[in-house]
Structure formats: structure tokens, C-alpha cells
Structure 1
Amino acid sequence: MSRQDASDLAHCLGREAEAVCRHYLPAGCQQGNYWRVGDVRGAPGRSMFVRLHQTARGRAGKWSDAATGEHGDLLDVIRETLGLTDFKDVVKEACRFLSLPRPVSEPELPERMQDGQPAPSGSPEAARRLFAMAQPIAGTIAEMYLRNRGITAFNETGALRFHPHCYYRPDETGPTKGLPAMIASVTDLAGRQTGAHRTWLAPDGSGKASVNLPRKSMGNLLGAGVRFGKAEDVLAAGEGLETVLSVRTVLPRLLSLAALSAGHLGAILFPDDLKRLYILWDRDPAGDRARDTLITRANAEGVEAVALTPVLGDFNEDLQHLGAVALRTALLNQLHPEDIGRFLAA
């Protein structure tokens, strides 16, 4: 790896300096434009300063230890906190954290490393970075939130992650603050991530955060969705994450997609080998329109469309208020006969 490539990688880490510090130096804390911690190995204390944002005094990610006089960048932080001795291992870990698709020594580098510029706010690249910075939901507030909604199916939920301090801004001029959030990866038919969806959560996971807009999306969503399970000839598509995951709680083998809004549900793209589409519609005017649109589109493309109807307002309400057994029974009465044994099996 060349010196320039190493500098580019350190610069990429610097653009995510706060996330790097929270991950590798969790004993520290933020004070103004710095992350303060005991030393480069992550010991508790306040003698080491990591610059979180670029200023006239220097680039983000640079650090110095007032007690020892040591200084360096975030590659040094990764090396020391993990006890790595081979620089190739440091590079590999840095690339894993940044979710780079290939080692940085190869000629073709990702766009964010070629131009040295931050990703535009709300862009697909910004969505990919956010998802890469988050962690699996197992054991997190995000899992607790879903369980509090009656959802217990967590097989094939790699599209969901958790971020403990996801920035929330109420409007264009308001201040930002970090809140725990469930992050969902939005992908196209080829599996490429085109966007992300954020659900900000209460600190105890009891529900959504007490903010005006606890759900926001970023990137390109039209035609795409949050996918659970591997592509097959049968697909269930619904509006919200909770709706889709509620159905998967009692139909764990059913490939499902959450479009994230009624408008986007009506515009999802169909896989080439799709034979039957189950429409998980909500009982409201927007849900009616999305259902009718999908039925018309499916019929035009030779895909059998089956609208699954909730007893209450949506399938998560059914799961919470009627229970899993009642939801399973209601779905059993609506499934195509060929799919009953295929998808209701535990």
C-alpha cells in the first residue's frame, strides 16, 4: 500500500471521526470538537485529544496525547486498540469499518476515496456510509423496540442495524442531536444499496423517539425496498417495516419487502422470475390505492396478485392485539393453497 493510499484511508476515517472514536475508544467522551480519552489504546482518562472535525488547526482524525507527546491519526488508533502488528491487518480492519468493497491498494478506489470529498447529504453514498457505521440489531435497543411490537422473527434480518447516536435534525435550521435509531438498508433488484431508512427510538426501546418525525429516509427509494429473505418466485410486499416483520413472525420463510410508504409500495419493481405477489396492504385510503395499483401492474406482467387483508388497521396491530395464533390463522385462510405448507412451517 502506497503512502498516498494510506493517507487517503486515514482521511476517510477522519470524515467519520466521531463514529471511529465511539467504536474503538468507547471509554472516552466528546467535548466540543474533540474526543477525549486516556490514551491511544483506549484507557479511561482525558489526556488524549482526537479532532472530530477539520478546522484551521488541522484535519479531522488527528490526535495528540498531552501526557506522552504522542500524536498520529485514526489508523494508529485502530492498530493500538486492537493490538495489530501487521499494517495489512490495520488496513483490512479500517476497510471493514468503512465497508469498502475492495482493498484500497487496488487501482479502482471507491468514489469517496478518489475525490476526498464528503458524500452529499441524503445521497445513496451517505446512506451506505450510515448503514456501514451501524451494528447488528441483536441485543440492542432496536431489537427491544421490535419485540415490544410483538415481532420475534429475526431470521434473515441483515438489512436491519442499530446506531446508538444517529443524527436527528427537526428542520433545515434546527440543531442536530444524536438519538438511538434502527437503520434499514434499501436495495434494488440487484442487491445494491440505494438508500437507508431511519427510525429514531426511545432510549429504553419502548417505542419511537418523542420527535416530530421519528422516521426519515435517504437515498433513492423508488422501485426498491428493505428485503428479508432470498429471492424466490413468491414475494410479499408491504408498506412498513413493522407490517412486514409481523407477517414474517408467523410466516418466517416468506420472502418479504418493505417499501416504506404507500406510494413506494405501488411502485416496487418485480423480479424477473416472480410468479405470485402477496400484497400486505394497510386499511386506509393510501393502502387501498397501493393495493389496486399493484394488482393492476401485476396482472399486466402476468404475475398473480393476492391481497392479504388485516383484521384491524394493519398486520402489526393484528399481531399485538390479536396475537400470533390469530394472525397465523387469518393468513392461512388467505394464502394460495400451494403456499400453505411452504411458508407456514416453523
Structure 2
Amino acid sequence: MPRLDASELARRLGLHAEAACRHYLSNGRREGNYWLVGDARNLPGRSMYVRLRSSAKGPAGHWTDAATGEHGDMLDIVRESLGLIDFKDIADEARRFLNEPHPEPGTGTLAGEPGRRAAGSPEAARRLVGMSRPIRGTLAQTYLRGRGITDLSGITSLWFHPRCYYRPDERSPRKSLPALIAAVTDLDGRLTGAHRTWLKADGSGKADVDTPRRAMGDLLGHGIRFGVADDVLAAGEGIETVLSPRMVLPGMPMIAATSAAHLAAILFPATLRRLYVLRDRDQAGDGARDRLVERATSAGIEAVVLSPRLEDFNEDLRLHGSEALRALIQPQLVHEDATRFMAVAA
């Protein structure tokens, strides 16, 4: 089959990217403008992300696996998820899928039917953050204290919503739960998304629901920022992973990318000269680390990996305390950064 036909099939599948992901990558889930899953063979996980709507970053349907560095289009997903080999079989399956009715991207309604603004849009994220309150004195602060994170000075990206809607899937009724809300912003400080951590009623931990963490909006390349980066930045996956080393490095700007897939793709400030990568000790975390180090090095940025003793830095902080965390991190820093950013021990 001519290459043009393959490109056109991939383009048309991209127009129905979310429906295709729900069909071929059923073990994943939508987060903002992306579908997250383990890999193109539909294994559970979050290291692969598929763009659901076209943007300046690329067309809908294109995907990247942060753990392996692989990337491709929707035809590759059809091939890998079904284990097909011959292109004729792949093309026939794509045409079969395209001949069925599917929801318009981001609306949940069929073409021609009235729809409403997508719940995961950047506009919805801005509304959520706008309806939230400052974190101090709330259950969200109680939750973070329970994770050993007691210093929230200078933080403007974290909020609290006492009744944030949650539902496990689109067919279930929604309920209201307290939630830690984190603002996702771009390099210019514009809010592009939001991350929600639903909490127990007393703030003692995450809510007892299937997926207590979810993100919405335009996430790829952006993140939850703690301080304004100039020449030095530390980057990690989750909020707690980043806030833990911040307990001993309060002056260092940091960013939480919300997942391993998004960590591998963060955008670098033009002034950045050194990037600290906060490692999580798992396969997805190591894949994100390697990809991010490769991207930074290619951009002429010095990349330094900071490794926890246990699974992640928050586990180190909770089980061993801030002084042990300081002793672990300090030797891994460039000397001038230890002097510049590390808090003086009491």
C-alpha cells in the first residue's frame, strides 16, 4: 500500500484518538490532553502518553513511551495492541474502526450531536484552581505534614478544595471529596492544567478510591512549579517526591511533572544551565530519568541525577527524617549549589 495511504489512515485515526485509545489501549486512562498507559501493547502503567488533540506540539494520535524512547502514530498502536504483522491486516483493522461511529475528540458525543466543554480542558482546570482556597490551615496541609513535608513557605502552586468532584469512570455517579489541588503552569507562568489528590476526611492520607490522583488540562512539557527557575532547576515526578528534597534545599527552584511520562518531556527555561533530576527507583522512573538526561545534555544543559536511598525521596524523608535526607543529598550536589541552596542545619 502506498505510504500516502498509511499516513492518511494514521491522520484519520488521530481525529478519533480518544475513542481509539479507549478501544485499543483499554488499560490506560485519560489525563488532560493525553492518554496514559504502560506501552503500545496495552500493558497497565503510565510511561506511554498519546496526544488526544492536535496542538503546536504535534498532531493528535502521536505517542511517546518515556520508558523506552519509542514513538509513533495510531497505526503503530493498532499493530502492537493486536499483535498484527502484515500491513494489510493493520490497514483493514484501521478501516474497520473508522467505519464505526465514534465520539468527537474531547466531547464524549457523536459527530453532529450537541456537546459541552470537556471536563479535562485547561479552562476547566483554571476554574477549579479559581474555586480553591490557599493551602495553609486546611486538610491539604495536614496531609502533607503527615508525609513529613512541613515547610510550605513561598509556595503558591498548591491549593485546597473541600468538595472536589470525583467519579471512578464516566458511567459512575460523582461524589465530592476534599482534595489537594496543584496548579500546572508553563514556562511563562500561565496556568495550563491542574492536578488533584483526593484526601480522606481527616487529611490523614489519600482517599480510599481507585485513582486518588488525577491531572487535567494541557500537561505535556509543563508542571507544578515551586520557585522560578533561572540557571538551576530540580525536576521530579510527584508533588511529594519534589517537596521532600525541598525541605533541605528551600532555595532551589523545583518542578513536579505529575508522572514519569511528563517528567521526560518537561520544557527547559532558556536560561537553564544545570538540571537536577530527582530519581524514583522504578522502571518508569529510570526510563524518564534517562530520557530527560539525554534531552538536557543535547540542549547543552548539565544534568545531575539525585538518587534516594529507598524508593523515592518522600520515603527517605518519612522514615529517616530531614537531617538524614540532607546527609544523603549534599554529596550528590555540585559544591557551589550546596552552598547556594541548602538550608543551614539547625
Other-structure match for 1:99: none
Return the alpha-carbon distance in structure 1 between the equivalents of residues 150 and 301 of structure 2.
Answer: 30
1:234 is aligned, of 210, 232, 235, to 232
Once the two structures are aligned, what percentage of the paired residues are identical? 62
**1:120 shift after superposition:** 2.6
Which residue of 1 is the match for residue 316 of structure 2?
318
Distance 1:187 1:143 in 2: 21
1:176 and 2:177 are equivalent in the alignment: no
Please name the residue that 1:148 is paired with.
Answer: 146
Any gaps of 5 or more consecutive residues in structure 1?
1-116
Q: Of 275, 278, 281, which aligns to 2:279?
A: 281
The CA distance in 2 between the partners of 1:341 and 1:125, in whole Å, is 41
| Alignment TM-score, normalising by the size of structure 2 | 0.65
Q: Which has the larger radius of gyration?
A: 1
Q: Identify the residue that residue 298 of structure 2 maps to in structure 1.
A: 300
Residues 139-182 of structure 1: per-residue CA shift (max 9 Å, x gap): 00000000000001202211000000000011101001100000
The Cα of 1:231 is off from its aligned counterpart by 2.0
Note if 1:244 corresponds to 2:233: no
Per the alignment, residue 209 of structure 1 pairs with: 207
- Match of 1:178, SS state, is strand
Measured in 1, the distance between the counterparts of 2:233 and 2:260 equals 17
- Paired AA for residue 152 in structure 1: T
Q: Which of 326, 329, 336 is matched with 1:338 structurally?
A: 336
Q: Taking structure 1 as the reference length, what is the TM-score of the superposition?
A: 0.65
| Equivalent residue letter for 2:196 | R
Which residues of 2 match residues 59-98 of structure 1 at below 5 A?
none
Match of 2:265? 267
Alpha-carbon deviations, 1:196-219, whole Å to 9, x = none?
A: 000000011110000000001100
Counterpart among 111, 135, 138 of residue 133 in structure 2: 135
Partner residue in 2 for 1:220: 218
Q: Which amino acid aligns with 1:156?
A: G
* In structure 2, C-alpha distance between the alignment counterparts of 1:291 and 1:323, rounded to whole Å: 25
Report the counterpart of residue 69 of structure 2 in structure 1. Answer: none
Partner Cα distance (1:118, 1:128) in 2:
17
Q: Aligned with 1:250: secondary structure?
A: coil
Letter paired with 1:184? A
Of structures 1 and 2, the one with the larger relative CO (CA 8 A, separation 6+) is 2
Unpaired segments ≥5 residues, structure 2? 1-114
**In structure 1, C-alpha distance between the alignment counterparts of 2:193 and 2:228, rounded to whole Å:** 19
Total equivalences in the alignment: 230
Q: Distance in 2 between matches of 1:120 and 1:240?
A: 25
Q: Helix, strand or coil: the match of 2:240?
A: helix
Secondary structure of 1:333 counterpart? helix
Residues in 1 aligned to 2:136 and 2:288: alpha-carbon distance in whole angstroms: 32
- Choose from 179, 187, 191 the match for 1:189: 187
Residue aligning to 1:51: none
Q: Distance in 2 between matches of 1:118 and 1:144?
A: 36
**Structure 2 counterpart SS, 1:166:** strand
Secondary structure in 2 matching 1:179 = strand
Q: Alpha-carbon deviation of 1:118?
A: 6.8
| Whole-angstrom distance in 2 between the partners of 1:220 and 1:345 | 34
Q: Which runs of 4+ in 1 moved over 2 A?
A: 117-120
Aligned to 1:90: none
The 2-side partners of 1:244 and 1:299 are apart by 22
RMSD of Structure 2 on Structure 1 (CA): 1.1
Deviation digits for residues 102-138 of structure 1 (CA, Å, limit 9, x no counterpart): xxxxxxxxxxxxxxx9743110000000000000000
